[in-house]
């Protein structure tokens, strides 16, 4: 009995020890799980901070390098996760991280890398429709950026892909509004979708239709900002609406309304900058809005006003570039401002200063063009800078161009003809290519047949109907028609320009020639 009692006690003690060990192990496992959950929560919270507050602060000071670094670290955290087993909140943050990387690549001019990031973000969100937040996270930037990539690259395939993305985004935004019609952020998504469709309609050269889409987007964002006046993202979105509306009104020749919209945009950015103390993105957009106002000043013949505005913009954009050298948007703005300053100074008789500015525009645009030979905007800017500089040389003290300048002009002219054949709907490519052809004909006027061949080819690049043309394209058609001796058609083009109040200095130089005939 004693031996049995000892054995029983021993077994009981062993079972007790085993139970205690099991309890300790269970508690440790629970502790580890809790620690893992806490660590994951901390990491997700840090990433959410990066995507919101930190991103807003870095945007304000233009720190593209810091944005790229923190977003890459965040993406490494998500690298080993299984999308099918990831919750909607995490999916949303992962998609937003991928989009942020794409945005930085886009600003640095690496459009191919940007598109890859945007498509990865789209793939992330496709794994979960169940969470509206996930859809919202990826739709906006992904699909708008695809359209921006297509605008810069311009191939039919990329535009088809961008168009599909934009319609998909519109459909998803409508579903969100239908699910929760009182939720303001879903209506904002619908506003973004309207803006996307407006961009698509611009590419179709349906200016009135595009204006309707942009005004729909503006109405949604105005209502949201009225209720949320401190939401910086919403104010930036509204500013973009004012820009699109203003630019489209200018194309329609409704200059007073265009100026009013652009001034509202600038006022919005002024208030945002004043509240934040500094905001790099708002400053950059404000500068671009000022450039559009200066372009309208020139179109209306208000050259002195344009000169003063452009001089202030030149100083502003150079100061911004000193803080954010990698931002290609600012370099684009600098090129555009320098070229328009050159035109204004030449019109006011300051030819030496105009030539200096044209040389600076040529150098700055050449840097962009060398970065990406397929970027339609950069190549067009470079072509415009070269033709502006060449006209100043031809009209000034040197009647003939040197061999280096002629070679550079010819190479860029051929480049623009190639791009125009690939993207006949692009307004800036068409205009740059047509201007290159006009100059090429002007330089060989002594050979009437060759000159006429250049001018006819330039005219063929332009949209066939006046309704499809921008005011600048209508002027180009007028200039080429009168060179080809098609006087009646040239008069009709001039009458259309006169009716909208178009008085660009280049147009006014051409008009007396027509009227003498």
What CATH number did the domain enclosing 262 receive? 1.25.40.10
Does residue 323 form part of some domain? no
Chain position carrying tokens 């508690």: 27
Residue 137 has pLDDT above 60, yes or no: no
Q: What is the pLDDT of residue 27?
A: 61
CA separation (Å) from 188 to 20, 118, 222, 253?
Answer: 58, 20, 10, 29
Q: What is the pLDDT of residue 516?
A: 39
- What CA–CA distance (Å, rounded) separates 35 from 275? 40
CA separation (Å) from 148 to 27, 144, 192, 259?
Answer: 54, 6, 14, 25
Does residue 175 form part of some domain? yes
Q: What is the pLDDT of residue 375?
A: 86
471-483 vs 427-442: helix axis angle to the nearest 10?
Answer: 20
Q: Do residues 100 and 188 share a domain?
A: no
| Percent of the chain at pLDDT exceeding 90 | 48
Q: Do residues 167 and 273 share a domain?
A: yes
- What CA–CA distance (Å, rounded) separates 487 from 52? 60
Mean pLDDT to the nearest integer, 266-289? 91
Structurally, how many domains does the chain consist of?
2
Q: What is the pLDDT of residue 215?
A: 97
Q: Do residues 23 and 119 share a domain?
A: yes
Mean pLDDT to the nearest integer, 437-447? 93
Does residue 329 form part of some domain? no
Q: Do residues 246 and 176 share a domain?
A: yes
Does residue 380 form part of some domain? no
Last residue of a domain, one of 243, 277, 311: 277
Residue 289 has pLDDT above 70, yes or no: yes
Last residue of a domain, one of 102, 126, 150: 126
Q: What is the pLDDT of residue 443?
A: 92
Q: Count the residues in the chain.
A: 517
Token code pair at residue 383: 């072509």
Token code pair at residue 157: 């395939």
> Is the model more confident about 219 or about 177?
219
> Is the model more confident about 182 or about 476?
476
Q: What is the pLDDT of residue 13?
A: 65
Q: Do residues 122 and 168 share a domain?
A: no
Which ranges in 300-375 belong to alpha helices (H)?
Answer: 303-323, 328-347, 351-371
Residue 333 has pLDDT above 90, yes or no: yes
Classify 154 in phi/psi space as left (phi over 0), alpha (psi -120 to 50) or beta. Answer: left
- What CA–CA distance (Å, rounded) separates 120 from 135? 14
Classify 221 in phi/psi space as left (phi over 0), alpha (psi -120 to 50) or beta. Answer: alpha
Mean pLDDT to the nearest integer, 225-251? 93
Does residue 134 form part of some domain? no
Annotate 497-506 with b (16+ C-beta within 10 A) or e (fewer).
beebebbbbb
- What CA–CA distance (Å, rounded) separates 81 from 43? 14
Mean of the per-residue pLDDT values of the chain: 81
Residue 243 has pLDDT above 90, yes or no: yes
Q: What is the pLDDT of residue 188?
A: 83
CA separation (Å) from 42 to 36, 142, 147, 472?
Answer: 10, 27, 36, 55
Residue 100 has pLDDT above 50, yes or no: yes
Burial of 514 (0-12, 13-18, 19+ CB in 10 A): middle
Quote the domain boundaries for residue 171: 162-277
Q: How confident is residue 398, by pLDDT bands cut at 50, 70 and 90?
A: very low
Which ranges in 127-254 belong to alpha helices (H)?
Answer: 132-153, 156-179, 184-203, 207-227, 232-251
Q: What is the pLDDT of residue 143?
A: 46
Last residue of a domain, one of 277, 299, 318: 277
DSSP state of 84: G
Summary count for the chain: helices (H), strands (E)? 22, 0
Q: Do residues 120 and 191 share a domain?
A: no
| Percent of the chain at pLDDT exceeding 70 | 68
Q: Do residues 258 and 212 share a domain?
A: yes
Q: Do residues 108 and 56 share a domain?
A: yes
Residue 422 has pLDDT above 90, yes or no: no
Q: Do residues 18 and 118 share a domain?
A: yes
Q: Do residues 85 and 167 share a domain?
A: no
Q: Do residues 166 and 229 share a domain?
A: yes
Residue 387 has pLDDT above 60, yes or no: yes
Closest CA to 280 of 242, 321, 314: 321
Does residue 18 form part of some domain? yes
Q: What is the pLDDT of residue 181?
A: 82
303-323 vs 280-299: helix axis angle to the nearest 10?
Answer: 160
Q: How confident is residue 49, by pLDDT bands cut at 50, 70 and 90?
A: low
Does residue 244 form part of some domain? yes
Q: What is the pLDDT of residue 346?
A: 94
| Model-wide pTM > 0.85 | no
Does residue 265 form part of some domain? yes
Q: Do residues 272 and 173 share a domain?
A: yes
């Amino acid at each position: 009995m004693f031996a049995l009692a000892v054995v029983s006690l021993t077994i009981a003690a062993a079972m007790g020890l085993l139970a205690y060990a099991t309890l300790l192990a269970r508690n440790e496992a629970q502790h580890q799980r809790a620690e893992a959950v806490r660590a994951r929560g901390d990491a997700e919270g840090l990433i959410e901070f990066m995507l919101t507050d930190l991103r807003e602060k870095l945007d304000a000071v233009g720190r593209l390098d810091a944005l790229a670094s923190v977003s890459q670290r965040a993406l490494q955290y998500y690298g080993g996760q299984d999308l099918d087993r990831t919750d909607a909140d995490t999916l949303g943050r992962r998609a937003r991280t991928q989009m942020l990387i794409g945005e930085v690549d886009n600003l640095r001019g690496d459009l191919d890398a940007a598109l890859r990031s945007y498509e990865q973000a789209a793939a992330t969100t496709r794994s979960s429709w169940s969470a509206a937040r996930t859809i919202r996270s990826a739709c906006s930037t992904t699909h708008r950026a695809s359209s921006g990539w297509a605008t810069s690259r311009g191939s039919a395939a990329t535009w088809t892909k961008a168009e599909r993305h934009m319609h998909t985004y519109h459909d998803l935004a409508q579903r969100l509004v239908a699910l929760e019609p009182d939720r303001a952020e879903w209506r904002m998504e619908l506003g973004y979708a309207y803006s996307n469709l407006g961009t698509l309609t611009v590419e179709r050269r349906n200016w009135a239709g595009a204006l309707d889409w942009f005004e729909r987007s503006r109405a949604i964002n105005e209502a949201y900002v009225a209720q949320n006046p401190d939401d910086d993202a919403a104010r930036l979105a509204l500013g973009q609406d004012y820009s699109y509306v203003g630019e489209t009104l200018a194309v329609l020749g409704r200059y007073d309304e265009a100026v009013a919209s652009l001034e509202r945009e600038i006022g919005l950015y002024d208030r945002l900058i004043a509240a934040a103390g500094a905001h790099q993105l708002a400053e950059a957009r404000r500068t671009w809005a000022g450039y559009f106002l200066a372009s309208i000043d020139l179109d209306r013949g208000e050259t002195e006003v344009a000169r003063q505005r452009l001089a202030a913009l030149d100083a502003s954009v150079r100061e911004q570039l000193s803080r954010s050298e990698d931002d290609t948007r600012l370099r684009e703005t600098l090129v555009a401002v320098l070229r328009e300053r050159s035109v204004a100074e030449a019109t006011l008789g300051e030819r030496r200063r105009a030539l200096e500015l044209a040389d600076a525009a040529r150098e700055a645009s050449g840097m962009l063009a060398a970065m990406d030979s397929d970027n339609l905007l950069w190549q067009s800017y470079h072509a415009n800078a070269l033709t502006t500089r060449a006209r100043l040389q031809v009209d000034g003290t040197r009647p003939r161009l040197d061999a280096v300048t002629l070679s550079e002009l010819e190479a860029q002219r051929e480049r623009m003809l190639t791009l125009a054949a690939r993207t006949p709907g692009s307004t800036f490519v068409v205009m740059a290519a047509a201007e290159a052809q006009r100059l090429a004909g002007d330089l060989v006027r002594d050979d009437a047949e060759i000159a006429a061949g250049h001018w006819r080819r330039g005219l063929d690049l332009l949209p066939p109907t006046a309704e499809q043309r921008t005011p600048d394209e209508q002027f180009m058609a007028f200039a080429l028609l009168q060179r080809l001796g098609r006087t009646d058609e040239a008069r009709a083009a001039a009458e259309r320009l006169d009716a909208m109040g178009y008085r660009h200095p280049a147009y006014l130089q051409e008009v007396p020639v027509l009227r003498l005939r």
